[in-house]
Amino acid sequence: MKIDFANLQLQYQAYKKEIDNNIHNVLNKSNYILGEEVQILEQELQKFTGAKHAITCSSGTDALLLALMAIDIQPGDEVITTPFTWISTGEMIALLKATPVFVDIEPDTFNIDANLIENAITKKTKAIMPVSLYGQPSDMDAIQIIADKYNLQVIIDGAQSFGSTFNGITDSNLGDISTTSFFPSKPLGCFGDGGAVFTNNEEYANKIKLLRVHGQNKRYYHKFIGIGGRLDTLQAAILLAKLINFKKELKNRQKVADQYTDKLSNIFQTPVIKKNRTSVWAQYTLRVNDRDNFQLKLKEEGIPTSVFYPIPLHRQECFNYLNYKQDNFPVSNEASKEVLSIPINPFLTHEEIDYIILKVQEICNN
Ligand SMILES: Cc1ncc(COP(=O)(O)O)c(C=O)c1O
């Protein structure tokens, strides 16, 4: 058997009619930049998340940049975040010449450990940026209490978690600003790059709308230094077709996750989803001791796997100037050696799920 990690081709075939229709509508109108599909998508995203404002943009990375610019992060400001994440999280803080301050993660959820945040706060701290890794929100109650106590802003990097919930509220409707990515392999993905910023704060929303078009408030009048950060109308049209099916897809992802956990939790540390949260299962991640060997054997059986992430941010060359030591953040370091994500997507068949479980068990028992 040959398993596909993301099954994007099957997904396209399943919604081909709606997607092709939506694309052709855009082609027929040639409204490629901020066309009406972008506005319709933003309204649909607002409805879906409950957030007052949804502002689409060019990527999950640019969504983070826009969020940080909206809260006016300045050179020398400090933003507390996790080192166990994709580079964009720390990179966008550093791009604004602010300082990413890393705080270690919880060993079970892989998200920032809220108990360690207070120790990292200084006079320069402006914001906390938790990442909802693999699709599950961080401990937003604990984080919000700290943010309120020290008057800090909270920006959620929800690139992997669009549709997840904390105490029944979507991840996009928490914190001061929340972001997501529509990268093709994300739970809700487009056919290229895309992202969105969510907020209930009118002032931030208005600023982000300007920032994504070079700070322009009237043609050729630029109120702020901004970026060219719009979502293409074509991508919005594709997302509109996919959004209709998204809830159903999330249910399917959950079913796959349940089967994996049921059959694999006696041999591995399987993902821990806290009681007050839901995950959208961007990844299903096991902790494996002999990871390289395990990964190779699964590959030989036609099962692709991925490692998110093999090198935490404090050990990345680009962050040498922060002067962290290799052995700082032991929980992140340990996780980076052990995590292995196995295929999870809404289009896996029963036979494929059974096959993956069987092979994982066999390799583990040999
Ligand atoms: C945690 C996290 N933050 C930010 C991003 C950036 O999103 P994009 O690839 O859309 O720029 C990603 C994408 O992989 C991510 O996983």
Q: In this predicted model, what pLDDT tens digit does every residue of 23-38 receive, in sequence order?
A: 999 999 999 999 999 9
Nearest atom (ligand 1) to Cα of 85? 1
Mean pLDDT over the full length of the chain = 97
Q: Provide mean pLDDT across the span 43-65.
A: 98
- Is 90 exceeded by the pLDDT of residue 3? yes
Q: Is residue 60 in contact with ligand 1, taking CB distance under 6 Å?
A: yes
Residue 287 above 90 pLDDT?
A: yes
Contact 341 CB / ligand 1 (< 6 Å):
no
| pLDDT of amino acid 157 | 98
CA of 358 to the centre of ligand 1 (A): 32
246-262 per-residue burial string, b: 16 or more CB within 10 A, e: under 16: beebbebbbebbebbee
**Plot region of 16 (φ>0 → left; ψ -120 to 50 → alpha; else → beta):** alpha
* pLDDT band for position 365 (cuts 50, 70, 90): confident
Q: What is the mean pLDDT of residues 34-56?
A: 98
> Measured between alpha carbons, how far is 46 from 329 in angstroms, rounded to an integer?
37
Can you tell me the mean pLDDT for 246-262? 98
Burial class of residue 181, CB neighbours in 10 A (0-12, 13-18, 19+):
buried
CA angle 132, 135, 148 (to 5 degrees): 25
Q: Decide if pLDDT at 366 tops 90.
A: no
Give 221 Cα–ligand 1 centroid separation in angstroms.
31
Binding site membership of 157 for ligand 1 (Cβ less than 6 Å): yes
Of 100, 174, 110, nearest in space to 136 by CA: 110
Amino acid letter, residue 275: K
| pLDDT tier for residue 201 given thresholds of 50, 70 and 90 | very high
* Residue 89 near ligand 1, beta carbon < 6 Å: yes
Q: Which two tokens stand for residue 336?
A: 């980076």
Q: Check if 56 has its Cβ closer than 6 Å to any atom of ligand 1.
A: no
Please name the residues in contact with 191: beta carbons below 8 A apart, sequence gap of 6 or more. 184, 234, 235, 238
CA 304 to chain centre: 21
Q: Whose CA is nearest to atom 13 of ligand 1?
A: 159
Distance CA 93, CA 77 (A): 9
Residue to mutate (ligand 1; options 84, 86, 129, 193; most atoms within 8 A of CB): 86
- The pLDDT tens digits for 211-225 are 999 999 999 999 999
At residue 88 the predicted structure's pLDDT band, cuts being 50, 70 and 90, is: very high
Specify whether the CB–CB gap between 245 and 15 falls below 8 A.
Answer: yes
pLDDT value at residue 347: 97
What 285-292 contacts at long range (C-beta under 8 Å, 24+ apart), as own/partner pairs, is 285/110, 285/134, 285/339, 285/340, 285/341, 285/342, 286/339, 286/340, 286/341, 286/342, 286/360, 287/335, 287/338, 287/339, 287/340, 288/338, 288/339, 288/340, 289/338, 291/337, 291/338, 291/339, 291/340
